[in-house]
Structure 1
Amino acid sequence: MNPPPTSPDFAAQRAAVAAAVEARLQALLADDPRPGEIARPPRLVAAMRHALLGGGKRFRPYLVVASAALFDVPMAAALDAAAAVECLHTYSLVHDDLPAMDDDDLRRGRPTVHRAFDEATAILAGDALLTLAFDVLARDGTHPDPAVRAALVLALARAAGLGGMVGGQMLDLEAERSTFDEAAIRRMQAMKTGALIACCCEMGALLGRAPEPHRAALASYGRELGLAFQIADDLLDLEASAEALGKAAAKDAARGKATLVARLGPAEARAALASAVAACADALAPFGGRAGRLVEAARFAAERPS
């Protein structure tokens, strides 16, 4: 059974968050150096802007804002953490697109950074976006409590690093040369995609100083959401056009990628997708109707066209 469609209100809320995050990202990539910086090389700033601005669903920042709202944190107070997540997520895309990794020419409907500039500049732009994410999280304006800022930095570092996104990417590369069973694919995808998505939800709870049971509930929701997002992504790669996706299509099968769609087949993968969306709603039960935005986010992840 397909999940019910998301509402116009959800679309409007997501658009509002995306616009606010876009404005914050533009400010972060101003030409003038910040205090403590010597200079900002124009070509590097241009490459970072090419990667970061003017495209993308801003789904991960939305999760930070919507999770924080459960604890009465206004959007303005969650924007820096949301922007930091988008900087880190975009760095991962820039590096994933490199010839040594997925070797993609198109991202978000535009040439990838190494095509628009060059490979060395793309590596440096990714490095700069990664470090900018932690720069932003450590700033006083992100949260008045330094302990909360430290917790945000720790959560994002662990989700993005060896035991999370980067480790998952390593497993993804290994899977091209060996056979992964379903459990191994789920573990790889939980690291590569799910860890960062779960972290976004936990960061909202950290901003709101939520009690541990609520943090755990949001982390559980985020893990199931990460699974749903990845299955939907793999189905889109199989079935959607490059024009619709804004990037190359059908590349997973061509490279022999280990995905649940390839392992289970599209029909069983869709059943797993529906199960993950249902599990998202179950994880949010402690929040009742206040979690409606996050329930709709899970539906959006499952039914999005790109």
Structure 2
Amino acid sequence: MVTALSTLKEQIDNYLAQALAADVDQETLLNSMQYSLMAGGKRLRPALTLATVEILGGELNNDVLRAATGLELLHTYSLIHDDLPAMDNDELRRGKPTNHCKFGAGMATLAGDGLLTLAFQWVTDNHLSATTRSRLALELAKAAGPAGMVAGQARDIEGEHQQLDLAQLRYLHRQKTGALLEYAVLAGGIITGQSDQVCQQLALFGANFGLAFQIYDDLMDVLSTTEKMGKKVHKDANEQKNTYPGLLGIKGAKEQLRKAIAAAVRTQQQLEQITGKSFAGYDQFLAYFK
């Protein structure tokens, strides 16, 4: 039986709240890092890692929790930097003023830098095997770096005021959003020592989930409200960003979302066939799109 997502989120929140201060020795920097890290959030990325570990028979001990929550540090860094005046210049995140509005652009930049580097410290500063720690660090660097999330952000900036086609848009979001979600699932396979075949399918599930996540987020920017999202909506269209609704319309974007979810479900079924284990624990993540 896989732990409920709400319980995983509570475990992640508790670990983040307790562990961060031990590794930061400058008060204002700590306050800035804590401000964004503990502002809420779904914690889907580390929860995907923990659920995958459980599904594959691993134990959710303190070392696994530390390695998994490192990903949330890195994700939070990306949000802080994404909100900066030089990037999206957002003033609201998770229903609160963005970090640079609260602490200034300089301290916000340093808070992001601190979270990014601390993420790799947590992934490697634990008692998992040396091989596991090394591979986790490598895969996280690839997912977050200039061939992953950072490249996606660069494509997003260059793509403003340009019309990307569907293949270009999908590739942009595979890097910008999908790369970290792909890593999140793969990390569970690495921690439990799975074969290359299983790890490939885990990464594919994460990639399909990541695509669905981005399409859904694009749709919510059009269909939801600032109160529900915790950030300003309709910004994508106003800033002429490339989105699925912008390219395909609401109906077309919903169809792409359906296809991405169906692809994730097929991968989920394939994982059950090759491992002989139930991956029903992923259903609670897929329910996010309902």
Corresponding position of 1:44:
29
Distance 1:57 1:140 in 2: 24
1:25 is the counterpart of 2:25: no
Within the candidate set 270, 285, 288, 1:297 is matched to 285
Q: 1:83 aligns with which of 63, 69, 80?
A: 69
Structure 1 segment 1-306 matched on structure 2, within 5 A: 13-30=4-21, 32=22, 34=23, 40-76=25-61, 77-141=63-127, 143=128, 145-288=129-272, 290-300=278-288, 302-303=289-290
**Cα drift, residue 90 of structure 1:** 0.3
SS at 2:212 equivalent: helix
Q: Under a length normalisation based on structure 1, what TM-score does the superposition of the two structures give?
A: 0.90
**1:91-132 superposed Cα distances (whole Å, 9 cap, x missing partner):** 000000001111111111111100111100000000000000
Query: Can you list the C-alpha shifts for 1:52-110, whole angstroms capped at 9, x where unaligned?
Result: 01400001111111111122112235311221000000000000000111111111111
Check conservation: 2:185, 2:206, Cα contact below 8 A.
Answer: yes
Note the residue ranges of structure 2 that are not aligned, 5 or more in a row: none
| Structure 1 letter corresponding to 2:38 | L
Kept after mapping to 2: 8 A contact 1:185/1:258 = yes
Partner Cα distance (2:201, 2:87) in 1: 34
1:19-62 per-position Cα deviation (integer Å, ceiling 9, x unaligned): 111111112222x5x5xxxx711000000000101400001111
Distance 1:171 1:292 in 2: 35
| TM-fit CA distance, 1:171 | 0.2
Provide the rounded CA distance (Å) in 1 between the counterparts of 2:49 and 2:31: 27
Report how far residue 296 of structure 1 moved.
3.1
| CA distance in 2 between partners of 1:248 and 1:18 (Å) | 25
Measure, in 1, the Cα distance between the counterparts of 2:126 and 2:82. Answer: 31
- The AA in structure 1 aligned to 2:131 is A
Q: Secondary structure at the match of 1:40?
A: coil
Instruction: State the Cα deviation string for residues 231-277 of structure 1 (Å, max 9, x = none).
Output: 00000001111010001111000000101111011101101101111
TM-score by length of 2: 0.95
**Equivalent pair of 1:228/1:298 in contact (CA under 8 Å):** no
2: CA distance, partners of 1:65 / 1:276: 23
Aligned alpha-carbon RMSD (Å): 1.5
Whole-angstrom distance in 1 between the partners of 2:270 and 2:148: 27
How many positions carry a matched residue from both structures? 285
Unaligned ranges ≥5, structure 1? 1-8
Aligned residue type for 2:159: A
Summarize deviations over 1:166-225 as a string: whole Å, max 9, x none: 000000001103221111000000000011100000000000001111101111111110
